[in-house]
């Protein structure tokens, strides 16, 4: 955490020690041409983000590597420009969120709510991610080569989530648009209450959620899967099943009396 300076009032520091209103960019990055390396070992969340912003917006540097990220939370959030960021290590909660444009590669693991509300760009995580991965995501590609936790792509509104391993329960819960490609197994309640979008699963599905149904794969689906696996140089499992919204819950009053128990 940032040291309390003399001008600060004690009230400027919150109970959990997360607020850093007075931090400044440390300007410690090693810059080499249009790339830079930030050693985050001794930096706080705010300092890392301020340094990233200084480099990307201020110095016009397009490639930044962050070393020793220490699984800190809220790193590389709200970047609204094209840039390439490599995080050499693991990140905590809310990693790479609220972005529009950046291509981010995390070589380790990440916590909950990875790439939440991403608008566009690419986030690739080499190992596992926690729950709520790609929550409310609106665009771009989110690739997790390992496993992910529960409620992957909850409220997803666009873009593609590609998972190399398994996903937990309630994957695609209330999903609105976009696609999810799960190479491993999906936990119980897949696609529960989804409005639209497609979920492709190569492994087993523990159970389907309310109003989620299986649909025939089309050549267009296969073309999409081939393309995504080619881009991220991943092995494509041969057979996928496709799950979509059953659209029974769109308008409650159109349900037959016997169908109304669906919502209990």
Partner 1 sequence: MADETAPSENTVLGRSQIFTPEVVNDIHMKAELGRYRMRGGGIFKKIPHWDELVFLPGTLTRFVIEGYREKCETKTVLGGRFAKKPLELDIPVYITGMSFGALSLEAKMALAKGASMAGTATCSGEGGMIPPERDLSTKWYYQVIQSRYGFNPHHLMLADAVEFFIGQGCKVGMGGHLMGQKVTEQVAEMRSLPAGIDQRSPARHPDWLGPDDLSLKIQEVREATDYQVPIQLKLGAARVYDDVRMAAKCGPDVIYLDGAEGGTGAGPHIGTEETGIPLMAAIPEARRALEDVGLADEIDLVVAGGIRNGADIAKCIALGAKAVAIGSAALMALGSNKDVAGADYEGTFGVPASDFYHWHTGKDPAGITTQDPELRKRLNVDEAAVRVYNFLHTLTLEVQMLARACGKTDVHSLEPEDLNALTTEAAAMARVPLAGTKYIPGVTEEKTLTEIRDLLAKHIANDTGGNRDV
Q: Is 60 in the site for partner 1 (CB under 8 A)?
A: no
Q: Is 250 in the site for partner 1 (CB under 8 A)?
A: yes
Element (DSSP H or E) covering residue 39: strand 35-39
Q: Is 155 in the site for partner 1 (CB under 8 A)?
A: yes
Residue 51 carries which DSSP code?
H
Give the interface segment with partner 1, choosing from 15-23, 59-67, 218-226, 232-240 (CB under 8 A): 15-23
Q: Is 251 in the site for partner 1 (CB under 8 A)?
A: yes
Return the number of the residue (68 or 176) whose C-beta is nearest partner 1: 176
Q: Is 154 in the site for partner 1 (CB under 8 A)?
A: yes
- Of 84, 90, 195, give the one whose Cα is nearest residue 146: 90
Q: Which of residues 188-247 bind partner 1 (CB under 8 A)?
A: 195-196
Closest CB 191 distance from partner 1, rounded Å: 15
Closest CB 159 distance from partner 1, rounded Å: 11
Q: Is 3 in the site for partner 1 (CB under 8 A)?
A: no
The whole-angstrom separation of Cα 18 and Cα 63 is 28
Q: Is 21 in the site for partner 1 (CB under 8 A)?
A: yes
Give the interface segment with partner 1, choosing from 58-66, 170-178, 200-208, 222-230 (CB under 8 A): 170-178
Q: Which of residues 89-128 bind partner 1 (CB under 8 A)?
A: 92-94, 97-100, 112-113, 116-117, 119
Provide the terminal-to-terminal Cα distance of the chain, rounded to the nearest Å: 48
Residue 30 buriedness (CB in 10 A; 0-12 / 13-18 / 19+): exposed
CB crowding 32-56: b at 16 or more within 10 Å, else e: eeebbbbbbeebbbbbbbbbbbbbb
Q: What angle do CA 96, 100, 106 make, to 5 degrees?
A: 30
Residue by residue, DSSP assigns 173-209 as: TT--EEEEEESS-B-SSBTTT--S-EEEESS-BS-B-
The whole-angstrom separation of Cα 137 and Cα 113 is 10
Closest CB 80 distance from partner 1, rounded Å: 6
At residue 101, the 3 state secondary structure works out as strand
Q: Tokens 């989804």, residue?
A: 194
Give the interface segment with partner 1, choosing from 32-40, 132-140, 202-210, 214-222 (CB under 8 A): 132-140
Return the number of the residue (143 or 245) whose C-beta is nearest partner 1: 245
| Total binding residues toward partner 1, as defined by CB under 8 A | 49
How is residue 61 written in tokens?
A: 């540097």
Q: Is 11 in the site for partner 1 (CB under 8 A)?
A: yes
Residues found near partner 1 in the complex (CB under 8 A): 11-12, 14-16, 18-21, 45-46, 49, 73-74, 77-78, 80, 92-94, 97-100, 112-113, 116-117, 119, 132, 135-136, 138, 151, 154-155, 157-158, 174, 176-177, 195-196, 250-253, 257, 260
């Amino acid at each position: 955490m940032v040291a309390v300076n003399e001008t600060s009032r004690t009230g400027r520091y919150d109970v959990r020690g997360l607020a850093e209103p007075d931090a400044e960019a440390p300007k410690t990055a090693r810059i080499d041409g249009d790339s830079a390396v930030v050693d985050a070992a001794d930096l706080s969340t705010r300092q890392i983000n301020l340094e990233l912003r200084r480099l990307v917006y201020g110095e016009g540097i397009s490639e930044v590597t962050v070393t020793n990220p220490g699984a800190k939370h809220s790193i590389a959030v709200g970047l609204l420009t094209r840039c390439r960021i490599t995080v050499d290590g693991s990140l905590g909660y809310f990693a790479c969120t609220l972005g529009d444009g950046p291509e981010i590669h995390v070589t380790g693991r990440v916590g909950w709510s990875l790439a939440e509300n991403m608008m566009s760009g690419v986030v690739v995580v080499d190992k596992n991610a926690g729950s709520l991965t790609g929550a409310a995501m609106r665009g771009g590609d989110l690739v997790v080569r390992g496993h992910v936790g529960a409620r992957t792509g909850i409220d997803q509104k666009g873009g593609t989530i590609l998972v190399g391993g398994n996903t937990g329960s309630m994957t695609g819960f209330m999903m609105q648009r976009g696609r999810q490609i799960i190479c491993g197994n999906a936990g119980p309640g897949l696609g529960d209450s989804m409005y639209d979008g497609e979920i492709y699963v190569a492994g087993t599905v523990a159970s389907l959620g309310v109003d989620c149904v299986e649909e025939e794969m089309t050549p267009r689906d296969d073309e999409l899967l081939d393309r995504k696996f080619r881009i991220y140089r991943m092995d494509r499992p041969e057979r996928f099943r496709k799950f979509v919204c059953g659209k029974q819950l769109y308008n409650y009053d159109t349900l037959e009396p016997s169908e109304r128990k669906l919502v209990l």
